[in-house]
Amino acid sequence: MLDSRLDHTHDAAALSWVASANDPATDFPLQNLPFCSFRRAGSLEPFRVGVGIGDQILDLTGWGITDLNAVMARPSAERRALRHRLFDTLKAGAPEVELVPQAQAEFALPCRIGDYTDFYTGIHHARAVGKLFRPDNPLLPNYQWVPIGYHGRSSSIVVSGTKLRRPKGQVKPPDAEVPVFKPSARIDCELELGLFVGPGNALGEPFGIDDADEHAFGLTLLNDWSARDIQPWEYQPLGPFLAKNFGTTISPWIVTMEALAPFRIPFTRPAEDPQPLPYLDSPAHRADAAFDIDLEVWLKTPSMTEPVCLSRSNLRHAYWSLAQVLTHHASNGCNLQPGDLLGTGTISGPTQAESGSLLELTVGGKQPITLPNGETRTFLLDGDQLGLRASAQKEGFRRIGFGACDGVILPA
């Protein structure tokens, strides 16, 4: 099935007339072509739909494309045709057109996000966090049967570079009889990817697992900021609330599913684990529904000149696939819409060094991280900049990057 997803736009030998796109280190070679919403920095121009190429942006206004949600709503065949047209416009030998340097642009959220659901697909994260909250029962019995998710706030999703204020909330210390309302002292990150929905489905009309790819538009980096001292007091019995919705940061770039086709890998489950129910399983799904995408967490404190990488993980560690969370979300007839955002949940690997949150890296704050300059951290302090990075690499194909997903914590 994988070979049928590949075409000339994945040819590693193809070059662009944009010199920076041919740099092996670029996130945005000709084979990527991610979408964004941008305008010239300092201007009052309306935001426009753009495509990243090297360190430049192609403005799609002249193409009659003024609404990325409308592009998302198109069938996959039309989206592939647009990719082919973009590729042909930017490949070496094509007539050069005017571009906007990314360094001279400011970015908005890439599209209108009507709804936001965050899932919990990282089983290593679920087990590690479960041990902290429920030592005798770390993995709840439904986890391996149903993709767990909660409805988040789309209104507090912000683009990379946005500064977030430390939230206040109810905290109940273990030895206290009553909770107190105070600034959170345990601000954490969550290393995630976000899946943007494509055409979607009508209310009451679910789709099958083998049709899920039609409804997947692309991926972005996502940091689901978390207040870990507010979270345990409020999350029972209905789940996450104010500990999560004070801010969610995403990259300004959406990397399309077409660009990621070379990095699909088989979806597998340990033989001893429960296998997915039939509506979440098929031979075609098992063949290539997972993805090999490297993920990283970076930290820069106010006294550091360069950021340091805290951990590395990979989307291959997700227990539920992107197709499964899409299919499950719509399985009761819920109507997904173009531009809806589905978070993967924290993607941690099997070792502590592959943790996607500070909660795991510091074992609940009990083992501080020592940084190269001698500073230590358990959770984020005011002024800290937390960044996520991601890329997909495979021999015989160009490296595909996701851009930056950065945020800074301001005082409460």
In sequence order, which residues have a C-beta less than 8 Å from that of residue 216 and are 6 or more positions away?
195, 196, 197, 198, 257, 322, 323, 326
In the CATH scheme, what architecture does the domain 2-108 have? Roll (2.30)
pLDDT of residue 134: 84
pLDDT of residue 3: 66
Look at the pTM and tell me if it is higher than 0.85: yes
Q: Read off the pLDDT of each residue in 76-98 and give the average, rounded to a whole number.
A: 98
Residue ranges of domains in the chain = 2-108, 116-410
Beta bridge partners of 390: 295
What does the alpha-carbon distance between residue 395 and residue 182 come to, in Å, rounded to a whole number? Answer: 51
Residue 177 has pLDDT above 80, yes or no: yes
What does the alpha-carbon distance between residue 74 and residue 200 come to, in Å, rounded to a whole number? Answer: 10
**Tens of pLDDT along 37-50?**
999 999 999 999 99
Residue 343 has pLDDT above 80, yes or no: yes
Q: Is 84 a catalytic residue?
A: no
What mean pLDDT, rounded, does the chain reach? 97
What does the alpha-carbon distance between residue 160 and residue 131 come to, in Å, rounded to a whole number? Answer: 32
Tokens of 401: 């990057």
Residue 1 has pLDDT above 60, yes or no: no
Question: 34: number of CA atoms within 13 Å, CB side?
Answer: 32
In the CATH scheme, what architecture does the domain 116-410 have? Alpha-Beta Complex (3.90)
Q: Which residue among 8, 84, 124, 125 is the active-site one?
A: 125
pLDDT of residue 4: 82
- Residue 135: is the preceding peptide bond cis (ω within 30°)? no
Q: What is each CA distance from 374 to 12, 366, 368, 404, in whole angstroms?
A: 42, 18, 11, 26
Q: Read off the pLDDT of each residue in 94-110 and give the average, rounded to a whole number.
A: 98
In sequence order, which residues have a C-beta less than 8 Å from that of residue 85 and are 6 or more positions away?
none
**Tens of pLDDT along 312-323?**
999 999 999 999
In sequence order, which residues have a C-beta less than 8 Å from that of residue 328 and are 6 or more positions away?
146, 147, 280, 320
Q: Read off the pLDDT of each residue in 291-320 and give the average, rounded to a whole number.
A: 98
**Tens of pLDDT along 122-167?**
999 999 999 988 888 899 999 999 999 999 999 999 999 999 999 9
The reply to whether 2-108 and 116-410 are identical in fold is: no
**Tens of pLDDT along 181-196?**
999 999 999 999 999 9
